[in-house]
Amino acid sequence: MTKIKHTLVHIVGARPNFMKAAPVLRALDKYSAKVRQVLVHTGQHYTENMSDVFFTELGIPKPDVNLHVGSGTHAQQTSAIMTAFEPVAMELRPDLTFVYGDVNSTVAAALVCAKLGLKIVHVEAGLRSFDRTMPEEINRLLTDQLADLLFTPSLDGNVNLRREGVAKNKIFFVGNVMIDTLIRFLPAAQQRSQEIRERHGLGEYGIATIHRPANVDDLDTLRPILGALDEISREIKLVFPVHPRTLKNLGDEAKSLTKNMLLLEPLSYLDFLALQASAKLIITDSGGVQEEATYLRVPCLTLRPNTERPVTVTEGTNILIDRNLPRLKKEVKAILKGKKNKHRLPKYWDGKAAERIAKVTIDHLRG
């Protein structure tokens, strides 16, 4: 008699999810005799360079289900995901549903499962910026209150969850799955590095990525940021992969405000990792980039007043700049003159976080 396998559903929807889910899917594949994995892509990010290329590069299997929700406001997108995912969840009745990070797909799937009495696993739990003007912070808070198993990437996550009343036996400090992916693919990215730099005529260079609504939705805010980046690019070449949101809001002004920068479309994971690994500095408002820069030991200047990844500041290479543009330019000058931050790798950023997640998951299923 064939033993019935446990069904595990993984929800991905946006670019950051793919890097987090890939190592977990692979780690749980080792237990294929015990579990059946189902991959659901909500379609929150749906273009070739924001979605498809990541499945190819990261070796993620083709999604079993694609909800094709597309873009929209936060409410529209969240409700569309819930409406589309509910019949899938009702049909599969998974033993565990894995949600990743803090995007709309994360909280939408968690709400559906909670209403249906299905167990939820949150990978990258406990991170807090303590800034509720960030939509992602709301997603994190709600998902963590609904989750049954919470896997934290750093110890501050455990502290935050306990403060919010989450039971200790639900919380597991496993490390950072984003770093699992980085470690696995860094050698391949480094092999591309010279070719990419030669293709774009790069010597010494920095990277800029700006996409947060607080920085790009208001042109009166975005223009001075890009003006500062343009000024910095006269001292060091800046590679600027332009997020669709930023490009849409900037429109025809992009070329005039960024004439000294190398503007690129969003890059594949391997190409962007290759550029990060060889960069002199990174200017960003992305959470994941703060982590990657820390592992790669590249100075990172973050255009935000806070971060849900404080370990990148206390132990890593990250400096919070907010929108203090004179300070941004001052810090860039210091880096170019050889300033280095003290740096150490946070605990469990060792490429084995997904293995720890898989072990806890299987132990939980065994009861």
pLDDT (0 to 100) of residue 256: 72
CA–CA separation, 353 vs 342, rounded Å? 24
Report how far Cα 354 is from the mean position of its chain's Cα atoms. Answer: 15
pLDDT (0 to 100) of residue 51: 53
State yes or no: pLDDT of 49 exceeds 90.
no
Domains contained in the chain, CATH given: 6-176+349-366 (3.40.50.2000), 182-336 (3.40.50.2000)
State yes or no: pLDDT of 305 exceeds 60.
yes
State yes or no: pLDDT of 55 exceeds 90.
no
Catalytic residue check, 211? yes
Question: What is the residue type of 70?
Answer: G
Exposed, middle or buried: residue 66 (CB in 10 Å: 0-12, 13-18, 19+)?
middle
Q: Tens of pLDDT along 263-291?
A: 998 898 999 999 999 999 999 999 999 99
Q: If DSSP codes are grouped into helix, strand and coil, which group holds residue 134?
A: coil
Mean pLDDT of the chain: 92
User: Average pLDDT in the 105-126 region?
Assistant: 98
Annotated catalytic residue, options 41, 211, 343, 364: 211
pLDDT (0 to 100) of residue 257: 65
pLDDT (0 to 100) of residue 343: 84
Separation in Å, CA 358 to CA 95, 172, 340: 14, 12, 37
Q: Which residues contact 115 (CB under 8 A, 6 or more apart)?
A: none
Confirm if 299 and 293 have CB atoms less than 8 A apart: yes
Q: Taking each helix axis from N to C terminus, what angle separates 104-116 and 135-146, rounded to the nearest 10 degrees?
A: 30
pLDDT (0 to 100) of residue 14: 85
pLDDT (0 to 100) of residue 154: 96
pTM of the full structure:
0.93
State yes or no: pLDDT of 48 exceeds 50.
no
User: Average pLDDT in the 181-199 region?
Assistant: 94
Exposed, middle or buried: residue 234 (CB in 10 Å: 0-12, 13-18, 19+)?
exposed
Of 29-43, 116-130, 163-177, 213-227, the least confident: 213-227
* Confidence band of 45 (pLDDT split at 50, 70, 90): low
pLDDT (0 to 100) of residue 61: 87
pLDDT (0 to 100) of residue 126: 98
Q: Give the closest residue to 81 by CA, choosing from 35, 165, 17, 164.
A: 17
Q: Tens of pLDDT along 217-244?
A: 888 999 899 999 999 999 999 999 988 8
The H or E element spanning position 194 is helix 177-199
Tokens of 242: 């332009």
